[in-house]
């Protein structure tokens, strides 16, 4: 295969890959707008960064605070894969 043909094919592959990336990004943005940006997609993992030092957390959660703590509301819905 000559160099010109390789360059043309490489350019076509790069353009196709770019079109796929743009299409996926557009679909992802549309999905976020449809469901609201704060809600995770179905089956998506939600990640939160913890900035507190473990020592500070342990100091905050005294026995009295632990006794008075209220359970947090848990999300409802399918958990995926039949796992609890």
pTM of the model: 0.35
Burial of 62 per CB tally in 10 Å (0-12, 13-18, 19+): exposed
Has residue 74 been placed in a domain? no
Residue with tokens 């819905």: 77
Q: How many residues does the chain have?
A: 84
Domain count across the chain: 1
Has residue 45 been placed in a domain? yes
The residues, any chain, with a CB within 8 Å of residue 80's CB and separated by 6 or more, are 43
Has residue 84 been placed in a domain? no
Has residue 19 been placed in a domain? yes
pLDDT in tens, the chain (84 residues): 688 888 888 888 888 887 777 777 777 666 666 666 556 666 677 777 889 999 999 999 999 999 999 998 887 766 554 455
Has residue 16 been placed in a domain? yes
**How far, in Å, CA of 17 to CA of 10, rounded?**
11
For residue 48, give both structure tokens: 């939160």
């Amino acid at each position: 295969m000559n160099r010109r043909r390789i360059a043309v094919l490489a350019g076509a592959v790069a353009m196709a890959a770019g079109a796929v990336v743009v299409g996926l990004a557009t679909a992802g943005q549309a999905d976020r707008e449809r469901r609201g940006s704060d809600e995770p997609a179905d089956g998506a993992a939600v990640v939160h960064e913890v900035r507190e030092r473990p020592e500070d957390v342990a100091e905050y959660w005294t026995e009295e605070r632990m006794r008075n703590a209220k359970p947090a509301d848990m999300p409802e819905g399918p958990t995926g894969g039949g796992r609890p």
